[in-house]
Amino acid sequence: MNIFPEVKVSIDKLLSSLESEETLVVLSSEVDDKVVAKVRDLCCLPLRKSGRGLSISSGTTPSGHACSIIEWTDVDGLKFIEKRWLLNALVKNLESGGSKRLAVFITDARSRQQAILADDLYDVFCDAVSCELKLESFRVLSAGDVEDFHRPVRRLHFTDFKKWVNANPDEMTSIEIATRLERFAKKHSCSYEMLDEKAIRDKGLNLLAAVGQASERSPSRLVLLSHGCEGSKDKPLLLVGKGVTFDTGGINVKPHERFVNCMKNDMGGAALMSQVFMALVASGYDRPIALAIPSCENLVAQNSMKPGAVITAYNGKKVVIEHTDAEGRLILADALSYAEELFDPRQIVVAATLTTAAMTQFSNFYTPAHFLNEKQKADLTKIGEKWGELFTYWDHFLPFAHCNDTPISDLTNMGRMPGALPASGGSMIAAHFLKNFCDAPMAHFDIFASTWNWSGSYPGAGYGATGAPFNSLFEWVYGL
Ligand SMILES: [Zn+2]
């Protein structure tokens, strides 16, 4: 399906540019948008009565095309994600129309937001899992220049992020992730290195080795890519993502059916950081950048990692395994230490579907972001608002750091607040665990909740991956 480039169409030629059986959808933010008034006139739809909020009106153009106009009025008080959510709800009306061919016309006003809303429309119609089946064609028509951040590259990698997360877990294995990254590295002249199980054991990345040791299909791998690092005076930016391609919980097998049947999404951090890396390289980012993807599968089998084991990490710290379902932080720990030694980064950005607490505490509309400095927070908040994505911020906090202490060993992988309910502070405690394995400044995103459509009502998402927070992170990382 061809989405790009979008077609520029003057209002006078709008109707004649429609192809046969296309449904026209017009998006507008402005109450007195002259373009929309003209479209209404052309489509023989009555003028909108004054009022506040979001409205949809449908009809048929003189040329026989179905037509819907979606208008916002006076909704400046709403966050953009609220607007996206409202549109999502409204679009269900359009879905019942059963159109297989869509042309979305974006008026001039606030064109960037409308471009995202057009993306949402596309994604809602397609359904994230069985894309091409529902919609035969989709075109974006615009009256003016659409202001967007590296749009074709952004859109491609945003979509690929969702595809990676939605893929069958027996297809998207650690080996497949490595293969895809190698293919990209060759095409874009990146350095590529892959540590297999033997190399991982030989070098002493024992936490990563332990988590993947029960899987034949998706065994432990550490994939390392870099671009523009050789000969650069700048230190690189290092992106790290958790790639557990399926998480049963291990011997502490997951008790909740609802969670375990979605656990192919546990490589969401690897998918997100890989796609951000690829989008940066493909869009001409000219500073040194590196990527480290630890990946494997957490299975229940004869040789699974056992609770109670004490395992020495790559950096020499001993970790007692109190719970085999807290495995993400283990593979990240070794990847962080190893990649920091290799790349000497100026800044590390980590993404991981790390804790269910990220959802139980913050809902799936927010991504907890840990350890950002004040400027990074301010920038991300601004960027997130533009894309309709939300973040909560958490700083270093000594009581959380000490939750990972244990009398048995240097660290426990199941830190908890003394006397508190089990999930209490879970996202923060896991984040502080990672702090033990690198020295460079680290921003960590716990994307467990936001990257999967748990609520069923995430804007622009069907069943499965939401695509959040790719758009914000791509733009934010670009500016780091
Ligand atoms: Zn787990």
The three-class DSSP label of residue 254 is coil
Whether 99 contacts 403, CB under 8 Å: no
CATH architecture for residues 154-478: 3-Layer(aba) Sandwich (3.40)
| Distance from Cα 477 to the centre of ligand 1, integer Å | 27
pLDDT at residue number 3: 46
Closest to 323 (Cα-Cα) out of 308, 304, 301, 302: 308
pLDDT at residue number 95: 63
pLDDT at residue number 445: 98
Whether 355 contacts 427, CB under 8 Å: yes
User: What CATH number does domain 7-148 carry, 3.40.50.720, 3.40.50.1110, 3.40.220.10, 3.30.56.10?
Assistant: 3.40.220.10
Domain boundaries, the chain: 7-148, 154-478
Mind listing the pLDDT tens digit for each residue in 278-315?
Answer: 999 999 999 999 999 999 999 999 999 999 999 999 99
Whether 393 contacts 377, CB under 8 Å: yes
pLDDT at residue number 144: 67
Residue where the block lists tokens 């106009």? 69
* pLDDT bracket for residue 129 (50, 70, 90): very low
100: how many CB neighbours lie within 10 A of its CB? 14
Whether 253 contacts 304, CB under 8 Å: no
> Where is average pLDDT lowest: 29-33, 332-336, 427-431?
29-33
pLDDT at residue number 280: 97
pLDDT at residue number 133: 52
145: how many CB neighbours lie within 10 A of its CB? 9
Same fold, 7-148 and 154-478: no
| Distance from Cα 246 to the centre of ligand 1, integer Å | 9
Q: In angstroms, rounded to a whole number, what is the distance separating the alpha carbons of residues 167 and 268? A: 11
Q: In angstroms, rounded to a whole number, what is the distance separating the alpha carbons of residues 197 and 182? A: 17
| Distance from Cα 245 to the centre of ligand 1, integer Å | 11
Residues recognised as catalytic: 254, 329
Encode burial over 293-318: b for 16+ CB neighbours within 10 A, e otherwise: bbbbbbbeeeebbebeeebebbbebe
Amino acid at 448: F
Closest to 88 (Cα-Cα) out of 456, 372, 464: 456
